[in-house]
Amino acid sequence: MKPFLLTTIAFSCLLFSLNISAADKVVITGEPVVVHEIQGVYVPTTTVVNTRDYYYLTISGTNRVCYDETNPALVDVNVGEYRVRLGDHVVTLHCYEYSPQYFIVE
């Protein structure tokens, strides 16, 4: 009986830890917008309408999740700063390389 109880408790803890790690991931939606570099500025191939706190872009063939500011929760993710044309403005975005370890695409 004791080994069964210990196994059940250990399995429950494992499931709980998996749920926590999934909850810590950043949820992003939709498909990335492809951007092309023109004289040091990345220009989207389509109009970018942003209703979230991030941009989901494909830069030089790599999907990246981009923010106006650095994201402390993503300190372990490969990040780069990119100048991107959004409408009439060129802004600098902090773009994190997409990884299923840190992001979930819905």
Per-residue pLDDT of 30-52, as tens digits, reads 999 999 999 999 999 988 888 89
pLDDT digits (tens, 9 = 90+) for 42-92: 999 988 888 899 999 999 999 999 999 999 989 999 999 999 999 999 999
Position 65 in a domain: yes
Looking at the 3D structure of the chain, how many domains does it have?
1
Q: Does residue 87 belong to any structural domain of this protein?
A: yes
Long-range contacts of residues 74-81, Cβ cutoff 8 Å, at least 24 apart = 74/26, 74/102, 76/102, 77/102
Q: Which domain holds residue 38?
A: 27-105
Residues 6+ apart with CB under 8 A from 39: none
Distance (Å, whole) CA 37 – CA 82: 10
Confidence of residue 11 (pLDDT cuts 50, 70, 90): very low
Q: What is the β-pairing status of strands 33-38 and 55-59?
A: parallel
CB of 86 closer than 8 Å to CB of 68: no
The reported pLDDT for the residue numbered 61 is 95
Residue 2 or residue 52, greater confidence: 52
Coil, strand or helix at 80? strand
Q: Please check whether residue 89 lies inside any domain of the structure.
A: yes
Residue 8 has pLDDT above 50, yes or no: no
